[in-house]
Structure formats: C-alpha cells, structure tokens
C-alpha cells in the first residue's frame, strides 16, 4: 500500500518514520481516504501509552504522507520467526499492547487488524501498536461496506470472518490469537489456505495450549478458552484483564510446591528397623529414606512420658515448573515445642494474597491513595514468605507511592519487587517516571 522511510526531523533533530502512499494508489479516492483515515484515527490516540505517535500529515507530489514516531526494534512478527517466546517476555509485550488497545477502545477506536506485524518494538523492547489504517473510529465515516471482510485471516474474529461489524471485542479476540502465537509459536487455527483459517475461527474448537507446546501448563487452557470464545460477549472485557489471568495461570502452575515431612538427620537407635525389598532405583530409595525418617519423628514425639527435645531435620522442597523439577534441601534445627501456634503462615499468606489483589484493583482504577494502605497491609502479611505475591505487594506499594509523588519512598519497594519477580516492564516505567520528574 505504501513505502516507509526513516528520516530526520531537521527542526527537532530526531529520527522519524514517514509513510507515503504508493504512487499507483494515489489516484484511487477510496485508498486515499483509507490512508487519511489512518492518520486521523492514530492522531486521535497520540499521547496514549504504547501507541505510535503521529507528528504530521500532508501531501507530496499528490501523494499523502504521515510522519510518525520512529521505533527501531522491529516487530513481534520478526520475533516470532524464531518460534515461541519466553512466557515472561511474552506477557510483558502483551501488557504493553493490551494497555494501548484498551486506551483506543476507551476513545471509541477499534483497530480491526491486530497482529504481530502491527506491534512494533522500540530499542528497549517496549511494544507500541501501529497501523490504524482500517480502524473504525466513532465520529469518522465508515468505509466498510456490509459483508466486506477487513483484517488478516489468521487473526480474524468469528464475527469479522462472517462479514459482521468489528467491535472492541473483535480486537480482543485477535489479541488473544497473538498471545497464543507468542507462547506456542503457532496460530491456533493455522491452515493451508486463508479461507480455511478464517472458517476455523468460526467453527473449530479452541485448541489446547498445553497440547500445542508440552512445556506450557494446562492452567492456561481455560484462559484462552475465554479469550477466543466465539461469542463476543463471553470474552474478556479488557485486554488488561486477559493478560492478568495469563500471568496468574503461569504463576499458579510454576508455584505448585509439594513439601515432604521433616526427616531427622540421624534417626535414634530406639526407632524400630523396617526393611522392604525395593528395586534399586534412586527415586524409590529416596522415598524409602524419607518414610523411615517420618516414622522415627513420630516415635520421638509420641513416647509416653518422654520429654520433647530439640532435633535437626532436613526439609525437602520439590518445586515443579514447566519443563523442569527443582529439589531443594535445607537443614533446620527446631526448638522443643511449647504452646501451639495461634495462626499458621498459610493463613497470613492467603490473606496477604487477597489484600494484594484488592490493592491492585484499586491501582487499576487509579485510586492510588486508597490502594497504598491496603498494599502496605498485604506486604506486612507476605514479607519473608518468598512467594511471588510478596513481589506483587512490594510493587503495589512502590507504584502507589510513585503515583502519589513520593518517588524516594517508592523506589526501594520496586527494587524489592524486582528481586522476587525479575525484570518487569512496569517496574522500569515507574523508575523512568521518577527520573522524568
């Protein structure tokens, strides 16, 4: 449809991208209108987060052009040439793109062609949504005739594939297809022809993500069942909520932990010996040793008038994550038991998670003052657990403080969050926000 040049804004000394309508289309009134439509739709959204900014529009030799922000990191389409992307990275990109699409929808703009090629990256790997060329914006005349299919076959919502009008829910469906592709390296309904792929969006069942790529957890399947629902009203109401559920499913799957009972380092001589013949397999041998240790521990604590004594245990933690199993052993010396504990750590952990989620919901609603005390309460309940929610709670406190103009107080919480969660795009954005003040 056109040519794109990297150019220099001589006045401001910055790199820009200039999109010029191809000469062979310049005389076609309908195409010129569509090109102008892109400029109007995108300009309307300029300044919104993660949307390519439009600087200028005009004509050159009777060929319309658009001057826009230059992004030098390529596109997600190029990233996908290397196959499935790491889940953490995919979620960060999806958060960026989802934020942009939600903002566009709030302005009454429906993109109608969400796909990896239209999701551009800057040098810091942040995603920006581009090419609103076939967008449907409230207040702009429609160029789509009834029954006309506009979009790209691999990402068409069922309603678009049937020639119906695209809505914000259609964009969210395409966004779900992009997410599926980022995680698995393939589109959910890939077919030999565009017609067959478009038809599959209408009639085929949503495939299992975990069956498409064995390293992905089954917890993701219900999330995509909703994101790619045939009925637009059954889909997620926002892209942000979809990404939040993706992250939650991944964390739940990666955080499944099975804790075995404590095993004394040296079982006492009084412990009765028990022997069974087991195949010489390391895993079964380990289980036999654990069982013997558990029995010894029971005998120690149920010995009539015997007084409880301090003991040293090996605590074994087995963590399962997609594609790997991690076994950790730590030595713990316990003091003689006294009065029973009044509350378990699990109680505080459960309450902390609940309070952290509630604080995050207030943050999403823009109520940072209301979120701060709840986030601080959650952090107090979660501190020292090492759970991923402790990372969330630290971020919620830091994010609230920074949005309330208290950067010096908020930044240490971001550092603590990053130590638990690892690199996150929103942490970097909050730090950048503080630097710009």
Instruction: Give the active site residues.
Output: 113
Rounded CA separation 408/426 (Å):
17
3-state secondary structure of 7: strand
**Is there a contact between 287 and 278 (Cβ–Cβ < 8 Å)?**
no
The pair of structure tokens assigned to 352 is: 């902390």
- Short-list 126, 135, 59, 138, CA closest to 95: 126
**In the Cβ-directed half-sphere of 256, how many Cα atoms lie within 13 Å?**
12
Pairing verdict, β 63-69 and 14-21: antiparallel
**Is there a contact between 139 and 94 (Cβ–Cβ < 8 Å)?**
no
Per-residue H/E/C for 229-261: CCCHHHCCCCHHHHHHHHHHHHHHHHCCEEECC
End-to-end Cα spacing for the chain? 41
DSSP 412-433: HHHHHHHHHH---HHHHHHHHH
* Cα four-point dihedral sign 357, 360, 362, 368: positive
User: If you compute the radius of gyration of the chain from its CA atoms, what whole number of angstroms results?
Assistant: 28
Residues in CB range of 112: below 8 A, 6 or more apart: 134, 135, 136, 150, 151, 160, 166, 170, 171
DSSP 92-160: HHHHHHHHHHHHHHHTTEE-S---GGGEEE-TT--EEE---TT-EETTS---PPTT---S-GGG--HHH
Pairing verdict, β 324-334 and 311-321: antiparallel
Residue 396 CA, distance from chain mean position: 16
């Amino acid at each position: 449809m056109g040519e794109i040049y990297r150019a220099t804004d001589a006045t401001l000394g910055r790199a820009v991208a200039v999109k010029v309508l191809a000469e062979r289309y310049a005389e076609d009134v309908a195409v010129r209108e569509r090109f102008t439509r892109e400029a109007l739709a995108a300009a309307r959204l300029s300044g919104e987060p993660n949307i390519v900014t439009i600087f200028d529009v005009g004509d050159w030799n009777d060929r319309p052009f658009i001057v826009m922000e230059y992004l030098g990191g390529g596109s997600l389409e190029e990233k996908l040439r290397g196959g499935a992307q790491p889940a953490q990275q995919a979620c960060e990109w999806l958060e960026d793109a989802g934020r942009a699409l939600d903002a566009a929808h709030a302005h009454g703009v429906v993109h109608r062609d969400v796909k990896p090629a239209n999701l551009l990256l800057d040098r810091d790997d942040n995603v920006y949504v581009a090419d609103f060329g076939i967008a449907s914006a409230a207040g702009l005349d429609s160029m789509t005739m009834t029954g006309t299919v506009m979009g790209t076959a691999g990402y068409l919502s069922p309603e678009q594939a049937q020639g119906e009008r695209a809505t914000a829910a259609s964009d969210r469906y395409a966004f779900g297809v992009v997410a599926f592709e980022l995680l698995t390296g393939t589109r959910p309904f890939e077919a030999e022809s565009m017609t067959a792929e478009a038809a599959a969006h209408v009639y085929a069942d949503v495939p299992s993500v975990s069956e498409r790529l064995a390293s992905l957890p089954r917890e993701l399947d219900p999330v995509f069942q909703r994101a790619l629902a045939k009925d637009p009203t059954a889909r997620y109401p926002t892209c942000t909520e979809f990404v939040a559920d993706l992250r939650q499913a991944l964390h739940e799957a990666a955080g499944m932990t099975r804790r075995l009972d404590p095993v004394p380092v040296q079982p006492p001589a009084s412990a009765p010996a028990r022997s069974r013949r087991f195949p010489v397999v390391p895993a079964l041998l380990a289980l036999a040793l654990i069982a013997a240790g558990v029995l010894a521990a029971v005998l120690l604590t149920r010995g009539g008038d015997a007084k409880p004594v301090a003991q040293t245990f090996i605590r074994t933690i087995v963590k399962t994550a997609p594609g790997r199993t991690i076994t950790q052993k730590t030595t713990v010396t316990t003091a003689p038991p006294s009065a029973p504990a009044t509350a378990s750590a699990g109680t505080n952990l459960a309450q902390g998670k609940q309070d952290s989620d509630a604080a995050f919901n207030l943050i999403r609603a823009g109520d940072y003052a209301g979120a701060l005390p709840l986030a601080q309460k959650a952090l107090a309940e979660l501190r020292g657990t090492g759970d991923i929610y402790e990372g969330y709670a630290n971020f919620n406190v830091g994010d609230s403080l920074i949005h309330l103009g208290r950067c010096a107080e908020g930044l240490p919480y971001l550092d603590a969050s990053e130590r638990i969660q690892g690199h996150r795009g929103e942490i970097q954005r909050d730090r950048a926000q503080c630097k710009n003040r």
